[in-house]
Amino acid sequence: MQHVRANDGLSLPAALDVSAVNHSYGRKQVLSDISFSVAAGRFTVLLGLNGAGKTTLFSLISRLFDTRRGTIRIFGHDVSREPGEALRRLGIVFQARTLDLDLSVHQNLSYHASLHGIGQGEARARIGALLAQIGMSDRLHDKARSLSGGQMRRIEIARALLHRPSLLLLDEATVGLDIRSRAEILATIRKLVATDGIGVFWATHLIDEVEDGDHVVILHQGRVLADGRVDDVVRSCGASSIREAFATLSGVATADGGRR
């Protein structure tokens, strides 16, 4: 594995630390000895083809699945031993749509706020601020089913931020969206990192969503092939771009079929 990350976490715990994690569905092993960390307050990309194991990894991090081998820590808290402490620091947007289509935007968000024990007045204030941030204040009372795919995604992002997590996980958040919506969502998330200091772990198979200053974890067939700053990973492969580095490491032409 190309492991080029400097020890940039210093004495602070990483936002996410995954150590020697394995996962199998029956006899089929889909994650093999996965280890990497995600620094606080930074945009880190989990890059891998469809089927690489990204969703499985997210299911383990969020504790949808039990981790049987290995450990996962969120800001130093083991998700198996201290799930409450770990998970309250985590916001997650899954690949599959999860809004209740028959409820309004407000109802979808306030239900989530109440699950996190946020009082009604505080929830109203946070919902107002988040909808303003994502440019959707005018849709508060609209039914979720009346929103476009990109708008639904933005509401899901707002919902994931309501309890003010320090680490936000997004699994293929731009899948199925047009180019403009993709760019808007990615820009919204990058801005969150820059202005609010939130750490983001962004899973994608689209190489054009990766920028040179990002950190990247390359996952391929259930194994971590590289982990570090994009420019360091590129250099350590003797490549001229992250696209070429991915091809060199995985033996597959590109993660996204060569799209630019």
Ligand X SMILES: Nc1ncnc2c1ncn2[C@@H]1O[C@H](COP(=O)(O)OP(=O)(O)OP(=O)(O)O)[C@@H](O)[C@H]1O
**Of the two residues 49 and 162, which places its CB atom closer to ligand X in the complex?**
49
Nearer to ligand X, 37 or 55 (CB): 55
Q: How far apart are CA 29 and CA 52, in angstroms?
A: 11
User: Is residue 50 close enough to count as binding ligand X by CB under 6 A?
Assistant: yes
- Candidates 48-56, 63-71, 96-104, 114-122: pick the segment binding ligand X (CB under 6 A): 48-56
Nearest Cα residue to 255 out of 44, 54, 48: 48
Closest by alpha carbon to 154, among 102, 208, 93? 93
Does the footprint of ligand X cover residue 48 (CB under 6 A)?
Answer: yes
**Pair 177, 153: CB distance under 8 Å:** yes
30 binds ligand X (CB under 6 A): yes
177 binding ligand X? (CB under 6 A): no
Quick check: helix, strand or coil at residue 230?
A: helix
110 touching ligand X, by CB under 6 A: no
The residue to which tokens 């039990």 are assigned: 66
Mask 208-247, x = binds ligand X (CB under 6 A)?
A: ----------------------------------------
Nearer CB in complex with ligand X: 56/254: 56
Closest approach of Cβ 149 to ligand X, in Å? 17
Nearer to ligand X (CB atom), residue 66 or residue 196: 66
One residue of 42, 53, 133, 247 binding ligand X per CB under 6 A: 53
204 binds ligand X (CB under 6 A): no
CA–CA distance, 152 with 125 (Å, rounded to integer) = 20
Task: Check the CA dihedral 236-238-244-249 and report its sign.
Answer: negative
Chain CA centroid to CA 212, Å: 18
* Residue selected from 6, 10, 11, 25 as contacting ligand X according to rule CB under 6 A: 25
Select from 165, 162, 97 the least CA-distant residue to 134.
Answer: 162
C-alpha to C-alpha distance for 137 and 174, rounded to whole angstroms: 21
- For binding to ligand X (CB under 6 A), which residues are involved? 25, 28, 30, 48, 50-56, 172
